[in-house]
Amino acid sequence: MAGNERTPPPAAPSAPSVRALQCPQCGGTLQVRGLGQTSTIVCASCASIVDISSDDLRILTTAANNVQRTPYIALGTRGRLRGDPYEVIGFLCRAIVVDDLTYEWSEYLLFNPYKGFRWLTEYNGHWNDVKTANGQPEDNGNTTVTYLGTEFAHFQSATAKVTYVIGEFYWQVRVGETAEVSDYVSPPLMLSREQTEGEVTWSLGEYMEPDAVWQAFGLEGRPPERAGVYSNQPSPFFDRSKRLWRAFAAMSALAVILQSASCLLAQDKLVFQQNYSFSKQDAAKVEVTEPFELGGHTSNVVIQTTAGVENSWIYLNLALISLDDGRAWDFGREVSYYHGVDGGESWSEGSGSDEAVLPAVPPGQYYLRIEPESDFATIPYKIEVRRDVPQVWFVLVALVALAGYPLLVWMRSRTFETARWSVSDYAPAGSSSDDADDS
């Protein structure tokens, strides 16, 4: 949950300057960078909150900070954000409590005398650039709001409490001060609604890559590693998944077109057909067919066997042999069919037909050698040979192969979104809130 505690005053068009005052509590130096727009300043030495809106420097509270925090970006650091120079003038921490767990994040107040105030927020290595919204979002009445044409989904509502403060601010900030905060997300954007006594403020945040923050302020070292998935962190898989599915649709359409053309151009020609009968008395008998012509270009050959099996089986040792060069394609096929009733339930297995596909057979004169085997006395069977038969499996395999990588990226995208919403008000039962927060 990130945003402004109070609506900031308009920017003053004056030159940057720093005014030095003395803390009335400890005598330490107070450097005022916000010019006439600063209302309070927290002494870095004694943590007293001093009201500097008047000349008497009234102390509001003393020793408000119980635990010292060290900001990643020190007060007085200057950088360039979105092309404009800004200086860090204030730092505070706030926290929410969800399911008896406390989640604390940091907020940096930035100032530019011509642009005014804006915020940088950080939680678990995740950063947002935040500024006051220019207008009132439209409530859609279904847990979503619309702002500047973009729809934001409600993410979480909670009570945010200031737990640490240092530097200067444009309102009288105090440790312990609370605000009712609701966040709405449309990655990489987040709308935050903050309500205090008599005031409602909307702010708009945009997710920033940690390296971009470090570069903007010229910070040394590396930014802290990110933990979990942040509420408005853009998914690294979302755009890639959409591109891959578009590519899959295009490639699938091409595969279907090629398959359709293949079906239209295929001969699908019956080149041989013959009925036979196996007899156990002639078990050693080998059948040799009459020669047949396989015309056209190199293509597939489909050998289909239909047998009169009834709770029986027949096995055929087959060989397709070329009369031109003697090359042979050897293979074996079984045809079996069984059925019955068991415990009042009918059952069946197998089939009375079988099909073998030889994928690339050159044109020429061929014949089949058939060696049947069975334990049954007599089984009639029929052999059919077809040339250049269109195969639907090709396009199915192509579609499965094409869908593999897009499906993997989509699954990773879904996992990312599940992690995002697992810490929201709409988290599934049993999900963990340890990985991320909506701060």
pLDDT digits (tens, 9 = 90+) for 105-114: 999 999 998 8
Decide: 183 and 439 in contact? Cβ < 8 Å: no
Q: Across residues 81-87, what is the average pLDDT?
A: 91
pLDDT of residue 283: 76
Q: Which domain holds residue 179?
A: 19-231
Parallel, antiparallel, or unpaired: how do β-strands 189-196 and 116-123 relate? unpaired
Q: Is the pLDDT of residue 31 over 50?
A: yes
400-406 long-range contacts, CB within 8 A, separation 24+: 402/248, 402/251, 402/252, 402/255, 403/248, 405/244, 406/241, 406/244, 406/245, 406/247, 406/248
> Are residues 69 and 192 both part of a single domain?
yes
Decide: 420 and 412 in contact? Cβ < 8 Å: no
CATH of the domain at 328: 2.60.120.380
In a domain, 273, yes or no: yes
Q: Domain boundary at 213, 231, 249, which?
A: 231
pLDDT digits (tens, 9 = 90+) for 2-14: 544 556 655 544 4
In a domain, 173, yes or no: yes
> Are residues 100 and 48 both part of a single domain?
yes
428 alpha-carbon distance from chain centroid? 17
pLDDT of residue 43: 67
> Are residues 293 and 365 both part of a single domain?
yes
In a domain, 434, yes or no: no
Q: Domain boundary at 214, 231, 248, which?
A: 231
289-303, 324-338, 391-405, range with the lowest pLDDT: 391-405
In a domain, 428, yes or no: no
122-126, 377-381, 428-432, range with the lowest pLDDT: 428-432
Cis previous bond, 188, omega within 30: yes
> Are residues 89 and 194 both part of a single domain?
yes
> Are residues 304 and 400 both part of a single domain?
no
> Minimal CA–CA distance to 267: which of 305, 304, 301?
301
> Are residues 30 and 160 both part of a single domain?
yes
> Are residues 35 and 122 both part of a single domain?
yes
> Are residues 328 and 274 both part of a single domain?
yes
pTM listed for this prediction: 0.67
> Are residues 107 and 248 both part of a single domain?
no
Q: Across residues 25-33, what is the average pLDDT?
A: 65
Two tokens, residue 160: 């945010």
Decide: 88 and 110 in contact? Cβ < 8 Å: yes
> Are residues 222 and 252 both part of a single domain?
no
pLDDT of residue 71: 93
> Are residues 350 and 398 both part of a single domain?
no
Structural domain count of the chain: 3
In a domain, 24, yes or no: yes
In a domain, 433, yes or no: no
pLDDT digits (tens, 9 = 90+) for 293-315: 999 899 999 999 999 999 999 99
H-helix segments, 226-341: 238-265
> Are residues 87 and 226 both part of a single domain?
yes
